Amino acid sequence: MIHFERFTLDNGLKVLVHEDPATPMAVLNILYDVGARDEDPERTGFAHLFEHLMFGGSVNIPSYDEPLQRVGGENNAFTTNDLTNYYIQVPAVNLETAFWLESDRMLSLAFSEKSLDVQRNVVIEEFKQRYLNQPYGDVWLHLRPLAYKKHPYRWATIGKEISHIANANMEEVKAFFDRFYQPANAILVVAGHVRLSQVKSLAEKWFGPIPSSPPPVRALPAEPAQKEARSKTVQANVPLNALYKTWHMSARDDSRFYAADLISDILARGTSSRLYRRLVKEQQLFSDINAYVMGSLDPGLFVIEGKLIKGVSVASAEEAIWSELDRLVREAVPEREFAKVKNKVESTLVFSEMNLLDKAMNLAYFELLGDAGRYNDELRRYGSLTREDIRNEAATLFRIENASTLYYLSN
Amino acid sequence: MQTVRLWQPRRIDLQGGATLYLLHGGEADLVRIEFIFPHTGWDPEQPLLNRALAGMLLEGTVSRTAAEIAETIDYYGAFLHAESSADHIIVTLHTLSKHIGHTLPIVKEVLGEAVFPENELAVYAQNSLQKLQVSLEKNEFQARRAFNAAVFGTESPYGYPLEPEDFTRIDRDALLTQYPRQLSSKNCFIVASGKISKEVESEIMRCFNDWEGEEAPAYDPVLRTGAPGKYAVEMPGSVQSAIRIGKPLIHRTHPDYVELQILNTVLGGYFGSRLMANIREDKGYTYGIGSGLHSFKNTGLFFIATEVGVDVRENALREIYHEMERLTSEPVPQTELDLVRNYLMGSFLGSLENVFSHADKFKSLLLSGLDYAYYDRYFEAVRNVSAARLKELAIMYFAPGDFYEVTAG
């Protein structure tokens, strides 16, 4: 349970406040409603590159990091296909520095050519480090365009290819800023050793004067229903054969999401899970295997991935996965197993509330979903699922024509 | 600067020989209990023994199969892990306090009655071997492995470069012999933190007060330091090189250590550090670079780590040495030093997020044989260390000549 208050400034900025007097720290988290899905297909990776540029100085403050470190603060950010999230952790007595820094870069960036030059290189090195220079690192560069044909989820946040990042220019940076980085397109969460009245006056003072235009209208192409099974084979210098399978599932903001999420727990959460027990331990087909859902805002993917034991045929490994999925469709989950995955959801929620930054980020994320209050309803939504819901969802998900498979094979 | 208050645990010497520390705090209905067992030996013929002990600990006891252990822990929403690090095996239970009566007895069982079934050992060895094969394809892993071997030698867990075949040589009899010596009450610190209610405390006492194991042999890792210099690991087809530069250095108990941490922060210990400012934010050679100090049982380590484009590797190396050299020749400017002081105080405050973080601070003292006066010395250094003193330390510890430099890719 995270308690919070909410208000909106005249320029449209939504502000949420979570008071936690037990900590001496404050968190200022700001979420912009823009992600890789909003990119031009010829300029993929731009939302993420832009996130880097947000640290290159703003209109009145030449260095973002320096003044924050000087008051004992730390910060970072991340970009996903759906959103871009920035956060600051600072001793609560220095909270106003965080307001000053975040409001100035929402007002306007410095748009420095040097920063753009350097950050293009930094992001290209990130592309290499995380996607090209790692065994299996480029899996999602293959898998996304296999599973998605129309929706912009068909590219990864890092971008389709390095040239898209290398070619980004200042004009595009400015246009992106004007379109997405404005008060009505953002959610601000202030949490920790703070008071609602104090946050109200700081928010008015620093963010109130920033002009706003109407938030951008999002009109993304919907992904058409998949009609036949798809597959792709990649040969690479990796030591083990690996299998990646995806099935189209619901959006995060859909009651079906919760059933799919529990199915992934039944299959792969912890060492008592079905895929681990049967396919790793008993049948010894995989050395590791995982199942998870992409909690994306538009309809997402249910994913199963595993590395095969040397000598095991890909066909038999794949068949073993299907047979576990069929069992979910045919047989009700035993009562005790169903209670087990629900209990784990409960304890995980309790553990995540130990962390101030997690609480702030969750409030921002659920506000983007429509209402931060929904966070406090999560446990009930998982709890109210029935075993029949699980069977129905499994039947909807695990159809052959809904699957895409990447065979990632050792040379 | 704000004052920082550290929560200190209460100590109870258990009858069977283990030492229990209880740190109560926080509102959430959660407990974390860690069982820390310092290594009691290392055999070059069985280099993986303690790692396999940890890896196999939850794979079956006299009365429960691996599947039953896993199911019970998961059913009560708990998390139970065992892992082997450079100096210890640590077994960690996270549990809701209300379920401790169901979860803690499982820990008691795996610490006293594990059976290491042969078939489970075969699966463990095979899966671990495959994971290592994947790791060996990563430049960063290769650089770290070659670096540790060069710096510490190959005759201790610190530097031994693991080979996939080592997993096929794990001897079950050796495991069974090592188990009661290594995971013994007489070789165990228990650190429990979170909501330590009366019920939680009495359950811990019920399970572990009488727990009594064998005498544990003392062990000091054998260090056979190689020659400083350049080591290269060829990784054909790489688009980036992993770089690791460093050397053995003072331990946390050394009087210079608290000040050296500040110098390390200036060099590569935070986002605004000199290495980040130069090699990432000015040159764009890398996604990230940092430096660190690590304190082992009886030695310390200083290292710089990064991954850079292969075409800019030589430039990056030159800039790294330049930044170290600059610390030995020019005093850190006052404004930069003030910034680092404030940053360190803020980040210390931020690192005390909840009762578990307070327990972590205590653990690092415990494992180094230090007391809370260490943190007083640390805050004193952060407030008052001078630029002249940092330059002196840089000359003493960062002077060129005796570094180990490893590149992979």
- The answer to whether the CB atoms of A237 and B237 lie below 8 A apart is yes
Model pLDDT for residues A5-39, shown as the tens digit of each residue: 999 999 999 999 999 998 999 999 999 999 999 99
Which residue, among A272, A283, A355, A411, would best test binding to B if mutated, counting the most B CBs under 10 Å from its CB? A272
Distance between CA atoms of residues B183 and A15, nearest Å? 52
Q: Is A324 helix (H, G, I), strand (E, B) or coil?
A: helix
- The answer to whether the CB atoms of B67 and A135 lie below 8 A apart is no
Residues 6+ apart with CB under 8 A from A330: none
- The answer to whether the CB atoms of A74 and B271 lie below 8 A apart is yes
Closest by Cα among A70, A143, A179 to A305: A143
Residue of chain B nearest A132, judged by CA positions: B239
Closest by Cα among B103, B56, B36 to B76: B103
Task: Please provide the DSSP assignment of A141-210 as one string.
Answer: HHHHHHH-SSSGGGS-TT-S-HHHHHT--HHHHHHHHHHH-SGGGEEEEEEES--HHHHHHHHHHHTTTS
Distance between A45 CA and the closest CA of chain B, angstroms:
15
Is B281's Cβ below 8 Å from some Cβ in A? yes
Closest by Cα among A180, A179, A198 to A190: A198
pLDDT band at B3 (very low <50, low <70, confident <90, very high): confident
Distance between A249 CA and the closest CA of chain B, angstroms:
26
Number of Cβ within a 10 Å radius of residue B329: 9
- The answer to whether the CB atoms of B134 and A239 lie below 8 A apart is yes
The interface residues of chain B toward chain A in range 225-254, judged by CB-CB distance below 8 A, are 237-240
**Measured CA distances, A201 to A7, A9, A97, A120, B93 (Å):** 12, 11, 14, 38, 44
Instruction: Say how many residues make up chain B.
Output: 409
Number of Cβ within a 10 Å radius of residue B264: 23
**Measured CA distances, A401 to A142, A226, A314, A404, B71 (Å):** 19, 7, 19, 8, 34
Complex-level ipTM: 0.94
- The answer to whether the CB atoms of B66 and A121 lie below 8 A apart is no
Distance between CA atoms of residues B316 and B243, nearest Å? 9
Query: Across the A/B interface, how many CB contacts are shorter than 8 Å?
Result: 182
Q: Which residue in the set A70, A121, A129 is minimally distant from B307, CB to CB?
A: A129
Q: Is B178 helix (H, G, I), strand (E, B) or coil?
A: helix
- Averaged confidence pLDDT in chain A: 97
Domains and CATH numbers, chain B: 10-208 (3.30.830.10), 229-408 (3.30.830.10)
- The answer to whether the CB atoms of B286 and A271 lie below 8 A apart is no
Distance between CA atoms of residues A126 and A119, nearest Å? 10
Number of Cβ within a 10 Å radius of residue B369: 10
- Residue A40, both tokens: 């031009």
Backbone angles phi, psi at A289, to 5 degrees: -150, 145
Residues of A within 8 A of B282 (CB-CB) are: 118
Distance of CA A47 to the CA centre of its chain: 13
Residue of chain A nearest B352, judged by CA positions: A23
pLDDT band at B2 (very low <50, low <70, confident <90, very high): low
Catalytic status, residue A5: no
Q: Is A21 helix (H, G, I), strand (E, B) or coil?
A: coil
Instruction: Tell me: pLDDT of B1 over 70.
Output: no
pLDDT band at B226 (very low <50, low <70, confident <90, very high): confident
Distance between A215 CA and the closest CA of chain B, angstroms:
32
- Averaged confidence pLDDT in chain B: 96
Model pLDDT for residues A95-139, shown as the tens digit of each residue: 999 999 999 999 999 999 999 999 999 999 999 999 999 999 999
Pairing between strand A14-19 and A186-192?
Answer: parallel
Which residue, among B30, B69, B71, would best test binding to A if mutated, counting the most A CBs under 10 Å from its CB? B71
> How large is the average pLDDT for residues B304-329?
97
Is B272's Cβ below 8 Å from some Cβ in A? yes
- Report the percentage of chain A scoring pLDDT > 90: 99
Is B307's Cβ below 8 Å from some Cβ in A? yes
Give the per-residue pLDDT at A402. Answer: 98
Model pLDDT for residues B97-136, shown as the tens digit of each residue: 999 999 999 999 999 999 999 999 999 999 999 999 999 9
Instruction: Tell me: pLDDT of A219 over 60.
Output: yes
Distance of CA B144 to the CA centre of its chain: 14
pLDDT band at A215 (very low <50, low <70, confident <90, very high): confident
Is B70's Cβ below 8 Å from some Cβ in A? yes
Distance of CA B340 to the CA centre of its chain: 24
Cβ-contact B55, B379 below 8 angstroms:
no
Task: Please provide the DSSP assignment of B191-221 as one string.
Answer: EEEE---HHHHHHHHHHHSS----------P
- The answer to whether the CB atoms of A351 and B94 lie below 8 A apart is yes
> Sheet holding A301-308: strands in order across?
A230-236, A403-410, A242-248, A301-308, A286-293
pLDDT band at B401 (very low <50, low <70, confident <90, very high): confident
Cβ-contact A26, A87 below 8 angstroms:
no
The single-letter DSSP state of residue B165 is G
Distance between CA atoms of residues A285 and A230, nearest Å? 23
- Residue A409, both tokens: 């094979």
Distance between B73 CA and the closest CA of chain A, angstroms:
9
- The answer to whether the CB atoms of B126 and A66 lie below 8 A apart is no
Residues of B within 8 A of A270 (CB-CB) are: 70, 73-74
Backbone angles phi, psi at B36, to 5 degrees: -110, 120
- Residue A115, both tokens: 């920063």
Q: Is B353 helix (H, G, I), strand (E, B) or coil?
A: coil
The single-letter DSSP state of residue A64 is S
Distance between CA atoms of residues B63 and B114, nearest Å? 9
Residues of A within 8 A of B71 (CB-CB) are: 272, 340
**The whole model's pTM is what?**
0.96
Cβ-contact B49, B60 below 8 angstroms:
no
Q: Could you say which of A39, A51, A102, A223 is catalytic?
A: A51
Residue of chain B nearest A273, judged by CA positions: B71
Pairing between strand B88-96 and B30-38?
Answer: antiparallel
Residues of A within 8 A of B32 (CB-CB) are: none
The interface residues of chain B toward chain A in range 344-363, judged by CB-CB distance below 8 A, are 345-347, 349-350, 352-354, 356
Give the per-residue pLDDT at B353. Answer: 87
> How large is the average pLDDT for residues A142-163?
97
Number of Cβ within a 10 Å radius of residue A63: 17
Distance between B85 CA and the closest CA of chain A, angstroms:
21
List residues bridging with B305 in a β-sheet. Answer: B244, B290
**Measured CA distances, B224 to A221, B49, B227 (Å):** 62, 21, 10
Residues of A within 8 A of B270 (CB-CB) are: 69, 74
> How large is the average pLDDT for residues B322-338?
97
Instruction: Tell me: pLDDT of A191 over 60.
Output: yes
> Sheet holding B229-233: strands in order across?
B229-233, B404-408, B240-249, B300-309, B286-295
Give the per-residue pLDDT at B346. Answer: 93
Instruction: Tell me: pLDDT of A360 over 90.
Output: yes
Distance between CA atoms of residues B301 and B150, nearest Å? 12
Cβ-contact B208, B18 below 8 angstroms:
yes
Number of Cβ within a 10 Å radius of residue B106: 23
